[in-house]
Amino acid sequence: MMETSGGWQEKVRRKREAQAKAIATAANADLRGLDLSVVDIDDISTLASRIASGGLTSEAVTKAYIDKAIKAHNQTNSLTEVLFQDALAQARQLDDHQKRHGSVVGPLHGIPVTLKDQFNVTGYDTTLGYVSRTFNPASEDAVLVQMLKTLGAVVLAKTNLPQSIMWCETDNPLWGLTTNPACSDYTPGGSTGGEAALLSLHGSLLGWGTDLGGSVRIPSSMMGLYGLKPSNARLPYQGVPVSTEGQEHVPSSVGPLARSLPSLTLIMKELIQLEPWKLDARCAPVPWRNEIFEGFKSEQLTIGVLADDGVVRPHPPLSRVLLSLVEKLREAGHDIVEWNADLHPECIQVMDEFYTSDGGEDIRREILAGGEPFIPHVEALVNKGQPISVYDYWQLNRRKVVLQQAYLNKWNKIKSPKTGKQVDVVLMPPMPHTAVPHHSCRWVGYTKIWNVLDYTALVIPAGKVAPVDKDAPWNHTPRNALDEHNLALWNQAGDKMIELGLPVGVQIIGRRLEEEKVLAIGTIVDELL
């Protein structure tokens, strides 16, 4: 570890100075003759085909994306570690390979990717937004990064996240606040917020995040992106540091974000075909099951719908977009079944007790070691509960397992009155609101329920906030303090949300390790939209 002096502020100054220098070096590049419009290709296969055919070079694509990433960062403060020079060197190596061999190295040859600042990349810090983790570069790539490079991907940069990652917005004393491209007063979500802001502005084509309570899905829904939370064991987590590392009660999942759904399907298929279970001991040896993916794309589906979790009512645009989609699914011949929120409060209660089972020690140690201030949400989290005994921790795990079995039984019992079939997936909002002003996020029960159960969850963009939403009834009596906060949010900011036309997402849920099914049904839904 490189030693620095002068306290946490000096470390922050040095890190930001190095970042600014790396950006300035790349910003002076000669872009004459480059087709900068390549960043507007939203589909990985389309761009990869143009590179493979010789219509574009990897270096030209990388330069165009670096130019766009710099502009996106200047607008939103989305980047942390800048790998531009390494990316250009990697792109030139790919071009040399293609010239020598007349072929590409893999299906992601020349595709620009970015990573939440949780993934180890050799020679660069992985901070998680902690000052204590600066000037301590990784000695090897995360397994996922190794696999992406094997497929031919070019790693451009790492992106911002909240201090400790344990928040659904994006801010920390080290790198600062990341803002929403639509309005700097609004959040892009979190904890994979830097990634989502960058992707939405076309500063990357494929993003990578982690999801412990909604951290891929929430920013995807707020930024109009596609985001997948696989079950924990489907993709490799080796080389991806995380707060509360060592806990196995509700493991975090690695997941992709993209601007097209076929891109998510492609990357999942290609990574799984590389057999990640041979590189990460925690990965399940489950191959890509193409017969499931193709089979569900042509089936008449049985879809459970949960419009309201009974804790916090979704804002009018969330309800309108979801119910409009339900009508389209009915018209297409799919069977709609009412789902319920039974067991959700109990699962979320267990999740909240897990979050504080160490009394906040893990996060508190990191922040005290760095000396920086706590951001308010993280300070509240670490002071929320007292550490529990090993025995009490075992009982908490027992409650979790009982709830997981109970939810499995619930899924098996809810059947269509028309056909007697079980539901294939559950359709619901990802959040009770769209993007909101900074520091306004409170309730993430719509996403973290599925982390407790380790179910597969996909978010896709389904609409935008519209003037018609202002006419929707919104004068209910609040159920609780969280619902009261959400009620006031729409009353105070609804007009601005309409003016901005903020994206509205929907969430599609399958059971454990049902990524192929969820992506297939997501494809059907996406085509209807």
Contacts of 481 (CB under 8 A, 6+ apart): none
To 5 degrees, how large is the angle CA 318–CA 302–CA 330?
60
- What span, in angstroms and rounded, lies between the C-alpha atoms of 490 and 376? 23
Is there a catalytic annotation at residue 413? no
Helix, strand, or coil (residue 248): coil
What is the CA 329 to chain-centroid distance, rounded?
Answer: 26
Is there a catalytic annotation at residue 298? no
Structure tokens belonging to residue 315? 């804002």
Q: Which of 132, 215, 231, 253 is catalytic?
A: 215
DSSP 259-321: SSHHHHHHHHHHHHHT-GGGT-TTS------HHHHHHHHTSPPEEEE-S--SSSPPPHHHHHH
Which segments of 28-112 does DSSP mark as H helices, in order?
44-52, 58-76, 84-101
- What span, in angstroms and rounded, lies between the C-alpha atoms of 229 and 251? 12
Is there a catalytic annotation at residue 416? no
User: Would strands 112-116 and 206-211 be described as parallel, antiparallel, or unpaired?
Assistant: parallel
Structure tokens belonging to residue 235? 């993709």
Q: Which of 191, 204, 220, 243 is catalytic?
A: 191
- What span, in angstroms and rounded, lies between the C-alpha atoms of 320 and 124? 45
| Alpha carbon distances (Å) from 498 to 323, 378, 486, 506, 519 | 19, 31, 16, 18, 30
- What span, in angstroms and rounded, lies between the C-alpha atoms of 254 and 240? 9
Q: Which of 11, 116, 158, 448 is catalytic?
A: 116
Residues with catalytic annotation? 116, 191, 215
